[in-house]
Amino acid sequence: LERNKLDFDPETPVYMFSKEYYSKDEFMQDFTQIIWFTYRKNFKEIVDSGETWTSDNGWGCMIRVAQMALARVLSQNMPPLEVIQLFQDNVKGAEAPFSIQNFVEFGK
């Protein structure tokens, strides 16, 4: 997102996560704090029903959205780096309980 492409009208707020923004600077300050999870490739193989995946391109969008929503909630009470560690791909078990591998395993 480019800063110079956002136009703010003092009469019309922009909304993000139910918060009103009248200032581009205030909006960008909050926007840049969002934890984003996107498609990944070359992660540890996920094997399910005879299929093997090393990328979530084309099927991982719902998992990544769920991860971002959960990260948003957790980040209200935890430092961002601690939150991100909980979502590390390629880590199974309690060390990264919200990794894509764990999401898929839980869904089996």
pLDDT of 71 above 90: yes
pLDDT of residue 79: 93
Residue-range domain boundaries for the chain: 1-33, 41-107
Averaged pLDDT of the chain: 87
Rg from Cα positions in the chain: 17
Q: 24: closest CA among 55, 3, 41, 40? A: 3
Q: Is pLDDT above 70 for 3?
A: no
Run of H or E residues at 42: strand 41-48
Task: Compare 4 and 55 and report the one with higher pLDDT.
Answer: 55
